[in-house]
Each structure stands twice: as C-alpha cells, then as structure tokens.
Structure 1
Amino acid sequence: MGLWTVAAMTAGAVGAVALVPVALGAVGFTSAGIAAGSWAASMMSSAAAANGGGVAAGSLVAVLQSAGAAGISTATTAGLASAGAGVGAVAGRLIK
C-alpha cells in the first residue's frame, strides 16, 4: 500500500467523522430538535403523513434526529471512519 493510499484513507476516515455532525445540522437535525422550514422538517412531515400522523421509531427520520440531538455513538463513529477510509483507499489508488 502506497503513501498516497494511506494518506487518502486517513483523510477519508477523519473527514467522514468530522463532517457528518456538520451535515446533520446543516439539513436541520439539530440538538434542539428539527429546525423549522428545513429539509429535515420536510422529511419529517412526509414521514408523519405516511404513518398516520406520527414518525415511526427506528425510521430514517428518527435515527437522523437522534444522531443530530445526541451526537454520534462510538459504533457509528467507527462505521463512518471505516467507510471514509474505504473511500479514501479508492481515491488513493486513483491518485497514483
């Protein structure tokens, strides 16, 4: 494994872990709840309409709001780092 691949894997892992909380907040999944008028609010409205007025526990909206409100768990962080490293590995091979 070359130096570029290792560097790209590291950057991908760190970037994925650092950017997911930022991305969640940017689309409206915040620690204070779903931001009014946001993409998250639209998503929640659609989910509630499809489920008779409520958002189902374990649904994508519920999981994303949980992550936005409480942060990302250790297991999720490890998964994000692995996914980011995988993307970095591919990118590193393309760079050389």
Structure 2
Amino acid sequence: MPTLPIFTIIGIAAGAAGAVALTPLALGMVGFTAAGITAGSMAAGMMSTAAIANGGGVAAGSAVALLQSAGAAGLSAAATAGVASVGGAAGGLVGGAVNLLKRLKK
C-alpha cells in the first residue's frame, strides 16, 4: 500500500485543525455572533436578502439560520466534522503541491 508524503500528511492535519479553530473567528468577523447578527455586517445583508426572498422571515434551516446558530452556540459535532474534512482536504492539496514542487526541484 502506498504511503502519503510527509508534507501531505502535515497539510491534512494542519488544514483540519486550522479550519476548526478559525471557523468561529470567521463567523464573528462576518457578523454571526453570540449576541445576534451585527448591524451593518455582511451577515445583516444576508439576513435582509433572505427575509425579502421569503416574504419577511428567515426560513428555518436556511444558510443564514444555520450560520447564526453556529455563531451563537458554536459548531455542532456534525458541523465540526464537516469543517475539519474540508480543511483537511484543502491542506492535503497544498501539502501535495509542496511535495510535487520539491520533487520537480531535484
């Protein structure tokens, strides 16, 4: 069975951990906070657009509702696993690219 190159392994681990650690920060930066949606933020614009599209309310289960829930209460176990998977995949791609560049440089 072939083994993964070291930079790919490092990239997967760093990408997964980094994505999980930075997601709450990113949610807060766009306006999804524990205190609610921040006025004038990107989140407020998303909420306004969703409300207009739905006749005045934000639909339960919509992207805005899910992001606000995560901003207020944190990520669920399933959301954490999803974020870690995407971060790991992205990190693996970067690590794989580093491995390729190192091989081409030789």
Q: Give the TM-score normalised by structure 1.
A: 0.96
Q: Where do 5+ consecutive residues of structure 2 fail to align?
A: 100-106
**Separation in 2 of the partners of 1:78 and 1:45?**
29
The number of equivalent residue pairs is: 96
**Separation in 1 of the partners of 2:88 and 2:31?**
26
**Separation in 2 of the partners of 1:76 and 1:90?**
21
1:67 paired residue number: 70
1:51 paired residue number: 54
- Identity across aligned pairs (percent)? 62
**Separation in 1 of the partners of 2:81 and 2:65?**
21
Among candidates 7, 14, 38, match of residue 11 of structure 1: 14
Indicate the SS of the match to 1:37.
coil
Q: Give the TM-score normalised by structure 2.
A: 0.87
**Separation in 1 of the partners of 2:85 and 2:57?**
34
Q: Where do 5+ consecutive residues of structure 1 fail to align?
A: none
Among candidates 37, 44, 50, match of residue 34 of structure 1: 37
**Separation in 2 of the partners of 1:69 and 1:21?**
9
RMSD: 0.8
**Separation in 1 of the partners of 2:25 and 2:79?**
15
Q: Tell me by how many angstroms 1:46 deviates.
A: 0.9
